[in-house]
Amino acid sequence: MKILTVLTYYRPHTSGLTIYAERLARAFVKRGHEVTVMTTQYDNSLSRKETMDGVRVIRVPVAFRLSKGVIAPTFGLVATKLVWQHDVVQMHLPQFDAPGVALRGRLFGKPAVLTYHCDLQLPTGLFNRFVNLVVDFQNNMAGVLADHIVTYTRDYADHSPYLSRYASKLTPILPPVELPDPAPGSVQAFADEHLVDGRRPVIGMAARFASEKGVEVLLDAMPVILAKYSEAQVLFAGQFEDVMGEGAYAARLMPRIRKYEADGHWRFLGILNPQQMAAFYPNLDVITVPSLNSTEAFGLVQIEAMMNGVPSVPSALPGVRQPVLMHGMGCVAKIGDSASLAGAILEVLDEAEKFKGNPAEIARQYDPDTVAAKYERLFEKLMEKKR
């Protein structure tokens, strides 16, 4: 099968969406399919064409940026050729160009499948309101033109204003999650470098330092946590400096965080590669995902932590709460409620044995090959319908 995957950003750009797309593309290749990723050349230093892990990557030049998106005038021309050459088209939303690609799928008789990752909610402001309207319109056009839509969970779909419109052509498929085995000695080396001696428990958070991630909810919960566990420590993995559009948010929170840093209760780790993340998770007692809005649809880091035997405390957002509800490894906190978050974290720390779960079974369910096989069956069904 010749599979065309279309998305705005691909590797080396790092986000939950690009990681998902990369894992799935590699899994398709391992299952014997020919995979092409069509994306944008968001950085001029990137090659226009290259092969990564058996996946052919084609990047379309960018004319200019618009908010967090990019405008690539020749995207449609390249898409016309590539859609014609492939058997099935998979698009990752949110994506400005998706309607045009889905239309080409219709015209050429090629099944077009959308993978919908999250609702887009830009910060307040007149310009961002305009961008939201444009993206919503484009996403809806793509939904109308596409043959099928995949989302992570039925829970998120039922509560998404977008997905609830297309219930008749919706299939939930759990996301692909994988981590390398930690290198020998790396877990202890990580502890030696980043943990303050004897200061347990360790609370992990893995995210961009962005307003929708709810960093301030964890920050507000710290006094309650420290009242019981005076040596507790937060390890924050992810970009925390110069995050696009988050300067004011960081400026507001950093003075409080610096005080916790000085006392050894908070440490920023920066962006970690997969090997470093494999050493990060075993050093945690709990991970938290206190996200605040529907731009977070699942929280893949929860599954990565659970695969390492680490329970999670997410907010009760639709989709985000599902890993804990499905696998029993953790507690769910009220959205934006620091007292609830503190209570849930303390419950997990106090009763660790209660939240052990079954890491091996979780790893099997989210294995990229398992996920790719489900997509494969969907593609074959849609191709047969087209025939």
Average pLDDT on 365-369 reads 97
Contact (Cβ atoms closer than 8 angstroms) between residue 341 and residue 313:
yes
- Which CATH number covers residue 197? 3.40.50.2000
Residues 334 and 237 in one domain: yes
Residues 241 and 360 in one domain: yes
Q: Is the pLDDT of residue 68 over 70?
A: no
Residues 373 and 352 in one domain: no
Based on the structure, what is the number of domains in the chain? 2
Strands 202-206 and 286-289, bridge-based pairing:
parallel
Average pLDDT over the chain reads 92
Residues 344 and 381 in one domain: no
| 116 vs 283: CA distance, rounded Å | 32
Phi/psi at 381 (5° precision): -65, -40
What b-and-e string marks burial along 47-78, b requiring 16 or more CB atoms within 10 Å of the CB? Answer: eeeeebeebbbbbbebeeeebebbebeebeeb
Residues 18 and 165 in one domain: yes
Q: Is the pLDDT of residue 127 over 80?
A: no
Residues 121 and 236 in one domain: no
Q: pLDDT tier at 121 (50, 70, 90 boundaries)?
A: low
Supply the pLDDT for residue 224: 98
| 101 vs 289: CA distance, rounded Å | 34
Domain encompassing residue 356: 186-364
Residues 37 and 145 in one domain: yes
| 384 vs 387: CA distance, rounded Å | 5
User: Is residue 181 domain-resident?
Assistant: no
Q: pLDDT tier at 330 (50, 70, 90 boundaries)?
A: very high
Residues 114 and 236 in one domain: no
Q: What are 215's two structure tokens?
A: 């960093």
Strands 49-52 and 55-61, bridge-based pairing:
antiparallel
| 191 vs 281: CA distance, rounded Å | 11
For 258-316, what is each residue's pLDDT tens digit? Answer: 999 999 999 999 999 999 999 999 999 999 999 998 888 898 999 999 999 999 999 99
Which DSSP category does 122 fall into?
Answer: P
For 235-267, what is each residue's pLDDT tens digit? Answer: 999 989 888 778 899 999 999 999 999 999 999
User: Is residue 141 domain-resident?
Assistant: yes
User: Is residue 375 domain-resident?
Assistant: yes
User: Is residue 93 domain-resident?
Assistant: yes
Residues 381 and 307 in one domain: no
Q: Is the peptide bond before 161 cis (omega within 30 degrees of 0)?
A: no
Single pTM value for the model? 0.87
Average pLDDT on 29-36 reads 98
Residues 373 and 309 in one domain: no
Residues 51 and 166 in one domain: yes
Q: What are 112's two structure tokens?
A: 């077009």
Residues 380 and 283 in one domain: no
Supply the pLDDT for residue 297: 87
User: Is residue 320 domain-resident?
Assistant: yes
Which DSSP category does 174 fall into?
Answer: P
User: Is residue 347 domain-resident?
Assistant: yes
Q: Is the pLDDT of residue 124 over 70?
A: no
Supply the pLDDT for residue 198: 61
Phi/psi at 284 (5° precision): -100, 155
